[in-house]
Amino acid sequence: MKHLSKNMTAHQKDIFQELIARVLRNRGNLTPETRRQFWELVDEVGASQEEVDTMKHLLAGPIVIYMNYFFEDALVALKGGEPYKSAARSDYEQYLKSLEAMTDDRIEANDRLMEQIAYRQPVQQGDQSSVLDETMILQALDRVQQAVETINILFTRP
């Protein structure tokens, strides 16, 4: 990504981020036109497939891939009554850290959140707090899975 970043203007980075945010907000925005715009921009900056994969992890990874690992672990923690961190989530955290897409502070905050889930303590969600139950976590996993599918489609050349 560092090489790719050198070839990208701030405006181009903003466009990439906006395209990704748009399709994550509403899967209906994942149109042929959006995909065309995305891949035209990839070609414009001369990105290799490896750079596209890295960009996928930098721009989308923290949002969807990591959250999938997190909520899968949350189910285990909820059922077991103890915080849980899978090797996959731990490894992905280290990968995101190496890309400077996740900080130690964010990892620690997620670990505290996992404790709240495991011990069935209220979790702050916007203006409200509630204890996450299995149904809520499964719904979150479903939304994350839909987002993963959306990102995979966007990042697959038509």
> What does pTM read for this prediction?
0.76
CA distance 127 to 95: 32
> How is residue 144 written in tokens?
């994350």
Write the pLDDT tens digit of every residue in 122-134: 998 888 899 999 9
User: pLDDT of 19-74, one tens digit each?
Assistant: 988 998 899 999 999 999 999 999 998 888 888 888 787 767 777 889 999 999 99
The kind and range of the H/E element at 13 are helix 10-25
Distance CA 139, CA 153 (A): 21
